Amino acid sequence: MKKVIVLISLGILGFYLIDIFLGIGFGVPHFTNGVKDLYLSNSKDTLKVSNVVTAIVVNFRGFDTLGEVTVLFLASTALGGILYKKRHHVGERSVLFPASQVVMSGAKLLFPSIVLLGAYVFIHGHLSPGGGFQGGTIIATGFLLMLLTYRNYSVSHNRLVYFESLAGILFVSIGLVGYFSKGSFLENVLPVGNMNELFSGGVIGIIYIAVGFKVAAELTGIIYTVLHEKD
């Protein structure tokens, strides 16, 4: 009986997917005056942001980005809760092959550059390809490098929680300021500046900095938890 229900459900789902696919109308001219033109014009003229993707993700559809950050936070919390009782103490992390002096020196040399690159990516997310998620991930890889290289390298859990909480509060606070002042969540309330300048785009740059810190803290916490799991 279960197999019949599954087959019927898959058949219904497949029918609607095929119907939607055939209804796209490949090769048929579509309307030109739509939401895409609104995004393109407002990104350049209203927000003074050269990266249209950033304007869409952080401003026009900023509430979706808040949802994505929330999902990442919940996933990080769930993983931490599952592995909490299995974590080693800092000095007990097993390393099968201790890194050589060359590798340790290289990691120590690269770590500040990786963190600086990650910060650059999310600070300039509204000017060039990149953003908070990408920059935060880069910073987390820097901590991964140090954790894999040094046997007793540790990351302060309290500091990760502090930065993550502060970034989340900043994100939501900016959104609420826009809502109460202009009636829309994450609506811009700051001067937009000039195109292609660092201080442009209004609240977009600040939001990406908050997202960058939050993603970096959450991913670093996940990496630290996984690496300290007992066999």
Question: Are 206 and 198 within 8 A, CB to CB?
Answer: no
Give residue 204's pLDDT: 85
- Average pLDDT score over residue span 215-229: 81
Higher pLDDT pick, 48 / 29: 48
Give pLDDT tens digits for 126-160.
Answer: 888 878 888 999 999 999 999 888 877 888 878 88
Phi and psi of 87, rounded to 5°? -80, 145
Which of 150, 186, 165, 164 has the alpha carbon at shortest distance from 66?
186
- Average pLDDT score over residue span 13-39: 73
Locate 103 and state its tokens: 């590798």
For the entire predicted model, the pTM comes to 0.72
Q: Is 49 exposed, middle or buried (0-12, 13-18, 19+ CB in 10 A)?
A: buried
Question: Are 208 and 126 within 8 A, CB to CB?
Answer: yes
Give residue 163's pLDDT: 87
Give pLDDT tens digits for 51-72.
Answer: 888 888 877 777 777 777 777 7
Residue with tokens 């459900």: 9
Q: Which residues share a beta bridge with 87? A: 229
Q: Please, which pLDDT band fits residue 184 given cuts at 50, 70 and 90?
A: confident
Give residue 113's pLDDT: 94
Give residue 27's pLDDT: 65
Higher pLDDT pick, 29 / 72: 72
What's the rounded Cα separation, in Å, for the pair 67 and 61? 10
Q: pLDDT exceeding 90 applies to what percent of the chain?
A: 11
Locate 144 and state its tokens: 């991964």
Residue with tokens 């799991």: 229
Give residue 115's pLDDT: 94
pLDDT over 60 at 85, yes or no: no
